[in-house]
Amino acid sequence: MKSHNQSTVLNMIRLSEPISRAEIAKLTNLTPPTVSSLVSELIEKNLITEEQSTNSKAGGRKPIMLRINYSAHYILGVYAAAEVVRVILTTMDGKIVSDYNNDITELPSKTEFINMIIDNIHYILNKTSIEKDLILGIGFAMHGLVDPDQGLAIFSPHLHLENIPIKVSLENEFNIPVIVENDVRALAIAESWFGQGQGDSDFICLSVGRGIGSGIFINNDIYKSTFNTAGEIGHTILDINGPKCQCGNNGCLEAYASESAILSKVKKELITNQDTLLHNWVRDGSDELSIKMVFKAAKQGDPFAKSILEDAGKSLGLAAANMINILKPSKLILEGSLFEEGDFVKSPLIEMIGKYTFKSSHEEILVVCSKLGKTGMVLGAVTLILRKMFKTTD
């Protein structure tokens, strides 16, 4: 979308559809002839459709209403983490047309990783047989430190890879525009369009899995910082004498409350807690220790499992309280399996926020769980392209 005015009109239709030409002119301060000309061009491009209004003013002629033709074009979204690469193809309203997961069982080299991504995208394209010309772009949500300007994955701590040229590699292969972003920032963008962040100008996404990250949404836009590295809450320090983190520092939040940290703590403390259900389950060799197993034990009333999860929740709550005190968002959105298995982690997290946030009586900060889940990461990748198309950000 080269024309800024076209994008302005398109976005106004998206936000208010069905809407008439006259209403667009009024809301955008564009002249009626300009709006009429832009709408004609958009209809010619098959991006919007017309329909007769069911209402008319004072018995007059019913106005022609406009809607986005969301199936006119498609978007590819890619989410890459240490354990999985997921590729989706969607329409312009984020509806998934095709979906492919590729589990990563062994850590790839940089070349192997890029080739895997390329193969997965080819698989989706061949599976759907959609003309490449109809694809607006490829959005890429990558875990770790990312430079969106260069389209570079600077450092992927769980893949142990550096300086992955994602944008250049994919644009050379597919000749389709590529936008790269950190996965949790992409999640926050998805939440603002399709999830719990809709209608909120300020919120924080806290994502907990193998690692911990956050997406900061301020004044209706994602905050990146000058260095494109904002939101690394997982590497804020809780105790300088604490356990070693994968980043090399001691006492990071990620070393206390990530899924990996929880499992590590369970294994370490099982030596002196042999009366727990977990000890019996692991000892008989039928199952390998997993997060789901820890939650299963907690649900059956196991004090040890419950205390481990509670400690993780307190650590997350303390870090979240610090962020809230600094940024004062209206909402905290929680994403991760730790929040999907009951309130063992969520409740102590909320308790710590209530205890350690400094606020006036009229302030209310909602804590909610993401309804998008991990799909939010790959849907966020898609939304990177949508934001560009609808010019909701520079």
Domains located in the chain, CATH noted: 4-68 (1.10.10.10), 74-191+376-389 (3.30.420.40), 198-370 (3.30.420.40)
Radius of gyration of the chain (CA): 24
Q: From 363, 372, 258, select the one nearest 316 (Cα to Cα).
A: 258
Predicted TM-score (pTM) of the model is: 0.91
The tokens of 222 are what? 């994602």
Those residues of the chain that have pLDDT short of 50 are 1-2
Q: How far, in whole angstroms, is CA 351 from its chain's centroid? A: 25
Report strand pairing: 96-103 vs 84-91.
antiparallel
Q: Report the chain's mean pLDDT, rounded to a whole number.
A: 92
CB 350 within 8 A of CB 160: no
CB 312 within 8 A of CB 326: no
- What is the CB neighbour count within 10 angstroms for residue 145? 17
Quote the pLDDT of residue 362: 81
CA distance 206 to 202: 14
CA distance 88 to 75: 8
The tokens of 221 are what? 């836009």
Quote the pLDDT of residue 167: 97
Quote the pLDDT of residue 2: 43
CA distance 376 to 180: 15
CA distance 316 to 258: 9
The tokens of 118 are what? 């390329």
What confidence tens digit (pLDDT) does each residue in 340-354 have? Answer: 999 999 999 999 999
Residue 310: CB partners within 8 Å, gap ≥ 6? 344, 345, 348
Q: How far, in whole angstroms, is CA 30 from its chain's centroid? A: 34
Quote the pLDDT of residue 298: 96
CA distance 191 to 334: 11
Q: From 193, 232, 213, 203, select the one nearest 332 (Cα to Cα).
A: 203
What confidence tens digit (pLDDT) does each residue in 157-174 have? Answer: 889 899 999 999 999 999
